[in-house]
Structure 1
Amino acid sequence: MNETLVTLVGNVATGMDYRESPSGAVVRFRFAVTPRYRDRQGEGWKDGATSFYTVWARRALAVNLAGSVASGEPLVVHGRLRVRDEEGDGKRRFSADIDAVAIGHDLNRGTSAFRRIIRADAPLTSPLLTVTQKAAEV
């Protein structure tokens, strides 16, 4: 219960590394977050230091992400923050991973088209099917 949930706004820095595993699909990619701030002296905007995160998505989120997002696109990523402390070659390194719960395009910077995926194993009394059937009747 003491997990750190974060929401990051940034850009996809690498391609999607999609893999199938025994427990389901997994996608990994790097995510760049660059804060912008107003320079009061120059009366303009400046970029701060860019932070990079490794984002992990699993199962249905991974499949949908791999088919919907490309390198360079602006995203909003929400998930669990995991900071790793590793030592190798006599050097200590820190890295930050995000186990994604939800990911979407940043609509402040463009448009997106959403297409709902209807799973084949959905029961006939599913609320999604009921709403679709009601819309077709009208």
Structure 2
Amino acid sequence: MNETIICAVGNVATQPVYRELATGPSARFRLAVTSRYLDRGKNEWTDGHTNFFTVWANRQLATNAAASLNVGDPVVVQGRLKVRSDVREGQSWTSADIDALAIGHDLARGTSAFRRAPKPEAGAVPVGAAGTAAAPARPEPDWETPPADGEPQQAREPVAVT
């Protein structure tokens, strides 16, 4: 009931390992989280200690993570923290795992292009030009705010964002 939910910001340290299990897809990768601090004596930013977490993803999150993440990618991971300790063959070890609820690229450190994963329809899966599954075409939503009553509707020119 009382679970520790954390948000970790770091870099993907190992290529995600994807597995199809009886319970559904599963993926795992290592996440390196390094603190940074301003060393006032040197007046420069310095790396602190690096913590490593094993991130576990299940179901659709596992499929999407395996297809989207590569070593070195900056990511934000939110999930349940699980710390386990054990003694094996006289050696004690501790592992910190994150059972991921959400994983995303850290847009403070780069750009990313989001693509919605296609939902398979019963029977047939649409195939794109490159031989990959393609999402069904949807009409473009109307993002414009409707004019107030009595206000004339004008054609708007696209605005360039710089």
Q: TM-score, length-normalised on structure 1? A: 0.87
- Residue 114 of structure 2 corresponds to which residue in structure 1? 114
Give 5+ residue unaligned stretches, structure 1: 123-131
1:9-88 equivalent positions in 2, closer than 5 A: 9-88=9-88
- Residue 4 of structure 1 corresponds to which residue in structure 2? 4
- Counterpart of 1:135 (choices 127, 132, 141) is 141
- Aligned residue identity for 2:64: N
Larger Rg: 2
CA RMSD of aligned residues (A): 1.8
How far apart are the structure 2 equivalents of 1:33 and 1:134?
Answer: 39
Q: 1:134 to 1:108 in 2, by over 3 A?
A: closer
Bigger helix share = 1
- Aligned residue identity for 1:77: V
- Residue 129 of structure 1 corresponds to which residue in structure 2? none
- Aligned residue identity for 1:24: G
SS in 2 for 1:49: strand
Q: Deviations over 1:80-123 (max 9, x none)?
A: 0000101012121111000000000001110000011241359x
Q: 1:134 to 1:113 in 2, by over 3 A?
A: closer
- Residue 105 of structure 2 corresponds to which residue in structure 1? 105
How far apart are the structure 2 equivalents of 1:108 and 1:17?
Answer: 26
Report the number of matched residues.
Answer: 128
Q: Deviations over 1:41-89 (max 9, x none)?
A: 1111000011100000000000011111111110000000000101012
Q: 1:112 to 1:134 in 2, by over 3 A?
A: closer
Give 5+ residue unaligned stretches, structure 2: 123-137, 145-162
